[in-house]
Amino acid sequence: MRVNLKTLGCRLNEAELENWAQNFQKNGHQIVKATDEADLVVLNTCAVTGEAVRKSRQSIRRIHRGNPKAKLVVSGCYASLKPEEVAESLGVDLVVLNQNKDQLVTLAETELDLKSMPQLSTEPGEVALFSRGRQRAFVKVQDGCRYRCTFCIVTHARGEERSRPIRDIIEEINHLHNQGIQEVILTGVHLGGYGSDLEQNLAELVKTILSETTLPRLRLGSLEPWDLPEDFFQLFKNSRLMPHLHLPLQSGSDSVLRRMARRCKTEEFSQIINEARRVVPNINITTDIIVGFPGESEGEWQESYRFIKQTGFGHIHIFTYSPREGTKASTLPNQLTQAVKKERSQKLHQLASAMKHAFLGQQVGREEAILWEGNIDSIGSENATIYGYTPNYTRVSTATKNAAKLINSVQIACLDEISAEGGHIESTV
């Protein structure tokens, strides 16, 4: 069977997609890039916002319309929250709930009577990752979350915390590295809670990975700020752990944070950021902010805006609050109008853009090791512009005639200037 894999949403979904790709290949199926080439399409959906649900529904319709003969398997958070609704969607042949994701390939083969060809099975990994122009691999280390932030529907969709054994993670990372992967990002719904069910913790996992693999670059996915142990930043003394942290703040107002049931208030957050910047040179701190949370007064909004501005971030993911059925926040009084949320979102986007520009300006003139990424098959012999990332996750481009040689290598580049559109830095290798 020719299998096409698609995902919406978080890095955890991407990690799961790669795992499915490898398992399909092990069983003799072929991974293809285009939906219209596939006999089977697998879609990993998202439900973090109302917009994510809309895109998930839209993707189901688009896949069926583009290739009505292909069998369609749908999984992910939207599929787990609304399985009957998804099952009734035109073209859907099988719904796999989040708790059964590890068995998706087996379930698809059994329920849909897929014809595998073991004699054609391949060593998985290279085709699945590199054919999509990706030189970084997402590795899922845990699932689920013990906390119940009032706005979050993902904890309902993902269930209780479950951690993978360290040995399994080490084995997967070494396998990926042997296939040519230079960088791994550890992901989970509640990454900082890794090991809560195994009497282990994230720091132990990171130390073991750094000691028992030779992977050049290791990154951490999104981490709740209250999860960081006291000596956490000492881990970054190993230069293979990349100096970038995504720490979701969600609001810069303590009264809003209380309504969100967040466990880290602004003073604690400031202490964490100051410690990170003191201990880890040139670290990039990025964050998430929810705009227009129920009851967010003008005073709370101004308080939040000031705190975000004084803290400074390399990048902000900005989410306009949308009620999610089944969450406590959806029942709170004083839901804001779309006009107010839009106005605040626009103002925060302007601030985020200015902060990102300032951060990029601090990087200009530096020499950094860049992991160059892209799809080698799409690079011609003429000058090509390719992109990559510095250790602190600054996006960089370079114009080169040697793209095929650069891709999937780590090379020193001089960061010359901020690009005209302001989104990345142009460099010289």
Q: What is the pLDDT of residues 192-229, one digit of tens each?
A: 999 999 999 999 999 999 999 999 999 999 999 999 98
Amino acid 9: pLDDT: 84
What 3-state DSSP class applies to 209? helix
Amino acid 119: pLDDT: 46
CA distance 264 to 12: 23
- Residue 9: closest CA among 45, 59, 58: 45
Amino acid 133: pLDDT: 52
What's this model's pTM, rounded to 2 decimal places? Answer: 0.89
Amino acid at 128: A
Backbone angles phi, psi at 291, to 5 degrees: -100, 135
What's the whole-number average pLDDT of the chain? 92
- Token pair in block for residue 122: 């391949």
CATH fit for domain 131-360, picks 3.80.30.20, 3.40.50.1100, 3.40.50.2300, 1.10.340.30: 3.80.30.20
For residues 6 and 59, the answer to whether their CB atoms sit within 8 Å is yes
The domain spans of the chain are 2-120, 131-360, 367-428
Amino acid 60: pLDDT: 97
> In Å, what is the CA distance from 154 to each residue of 144, 201, 221?
8, 22, 16
Q: Residue 145 contacts by C-beta under 8 Å, 6 or more apart in sequence?
A: 152, 154, 155, 158, 161, 189, 190, 193
CATH fit for domain 2-120, picks 3.60.10.10, 3.40.50.12160, 3.40.50.2300, 2.40.30.10: 3.40.50.12160
Amino acid 115: pLDDT: 72
- Token pair in block for residue 148: 């119940």
Backbone angles phi, psi at 384, to 5 degrees: -130, 150
The parts of the chain modelled with pLDDT lower than 50 are: 119-121, 124-125, 127
